[in-house]
């Protein structure tokens, strides 16, 4: 029964997950183009837009290392200073705290709402049977 509930919940949340992927791709693409144009010549990780997008994706997922294994934000901070750090912190906080939590809240709301609708349909379907049974026992 629990597996059935989980699968129904996943199915109910597929649309939300699809839009979340599109939103995150749009953010990563926008930031990737921006970083490629600003810093692409200075860092191998940002030489092309796909490289910049993949580096951003890794940073959003807490694996923000350069290709040689050193911390990428620290390397960029050494070159671009405090302006980069403020921008980096704001970007990471916006995406990881803001967008990810918003997506999770919408997903959970969608799944629980779908579960409630399904349960209400089951109750409505069984209500006629219960009414007939009560009528038989009372009459």
**Mean pLDDT over residues 94-109, rounded?**
81
| Of 83, 99, 116, 96, the residue nearest 19 (C-alpha) | 99
Tell me what the pLDDT averaged over the chain comes to: 85
What is the reported pTM?
0.67
Provide the 8-state DSSP code for 40. Answer: T
Distance of CA 92 to the CA centre of its chain: 13
Tell me: the pLDDT tens digits for 76-100?
A: 898 888 888 898 889 888 888 888 8
Calpha distance 107→38 (Å, rounded): 35
Tell me: the pLDDT tens digits for 52-85?
A: 999 999 988 888 899 899 999 999 898 888 888 8
């Amino acid at each position: 029964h629990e597996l059935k509930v989980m699968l129904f919940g996943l199915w109910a949340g597929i649309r939300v997950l699809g839009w979340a992927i599109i939103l995150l791709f749009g953010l990563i693409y926008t930031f990737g183009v921006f970083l490629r144009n600003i810093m692409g010549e200075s860092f191998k990780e940002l030489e092309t837009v796909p490289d910049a997008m993949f580096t951003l994706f890794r940073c959003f997922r807490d694996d923000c290392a350069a290709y040689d294994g050193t911390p990428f934000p620290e390397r960029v901070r050494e070159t671009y200073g405090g302006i980069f750090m403020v921008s980096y912190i704001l970007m990471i906080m916006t995406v990881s705290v803001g967008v990810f939590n918003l997506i999770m809240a919408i997903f959970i709301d969608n799944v629980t709402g779908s579960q409630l609708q399904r349960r209400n349909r089951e109750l409505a379907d069984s209500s006629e049977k219960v009414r007939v049974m009560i009528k038989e026992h009372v009459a």
